Amino acid sequence: MLTPVVDEDGAPFWEYAARGELRVQACAACGEPRFPPRPCCPHCRSFDSEWRRMSGRGRIWSYVVPHPPLLPDYAAQAPYNAVLVELADAPRIRLVGNVVAAPDAPLDSVDPARLRIGAGVRVAFTEIAGVIVPRWLLERG
């Protein structure tokens, strides 16, 4: 499995994830959230930032069902989904992830036919190859 590459700017994201918190970097000067994490605010150019806790709720902004050729580990799990989730608390932030049936369920645990753009999701965390990563569960209804 591919695991996240943790750089200096993004390290807090993973540290909070390890505590079960979804946080997004935000500018401490103008308040604008940004993703991926980086040193400077693209809106006001401030270098001051904070990590804002999100509710963990969002909606599917878009998704794909990757088809072969895939890396061998992923081919074995196809068909699965890769989603872009628009965060309820920061609608301009969209995180890439997977919708799964339970936090530690396999990548192919949700039939792609169940996915809809706009569907509500909530974050869950699980460990993959030693890293705690966010995943997404469909809201009921």
Number of residues that bind Zn ion (CB under 5 A): 7
Contact region with Zn ion (CB under 5 A), list: 27-35, 77-85, 94-102, 105-113: 27-35
Compute the distance between CA of residue 106 and CA of residue 117 in angstroms, rounded to an integer.
21
Among 17, 22, 24, 27, which residue interacts with Zn ion (rule: CB under 5 A)? Answer: 27
Structure tokens at 138: 């469909």
CB 105 within 8 A of CB 70: no
Q: Can you tell me which residue has the tokens 């693209």?
A: 42
Among 17, 22, 41, 90, which residue interacts with Zn ion (rule: CB under 5 A)? Answer: 41
Our CB check for Zn ion shows the closer of 32 and 108 to be 32
By CB under 5 A, tell whether 26 contacts Zn ion: no
By CB under 5 A, tell whether 117 contacts Zn ion: no
Among 38, 43, 53, 92, which residue interacts with Zn ion (rule: CB under 5 A)? Answer: 43
CB 118 within 8 A of CB 63: no
DSSP string, 31-65: --B-SS--SS-TTT----EEEEEP-SEEEEEEEE-
By CB under 5 A, tell whether 109 contacts Zn ion: no
- Binding residues for Zn ion, rule: CB under 5 A, are 27, 29-30, 41, 43-44, 46
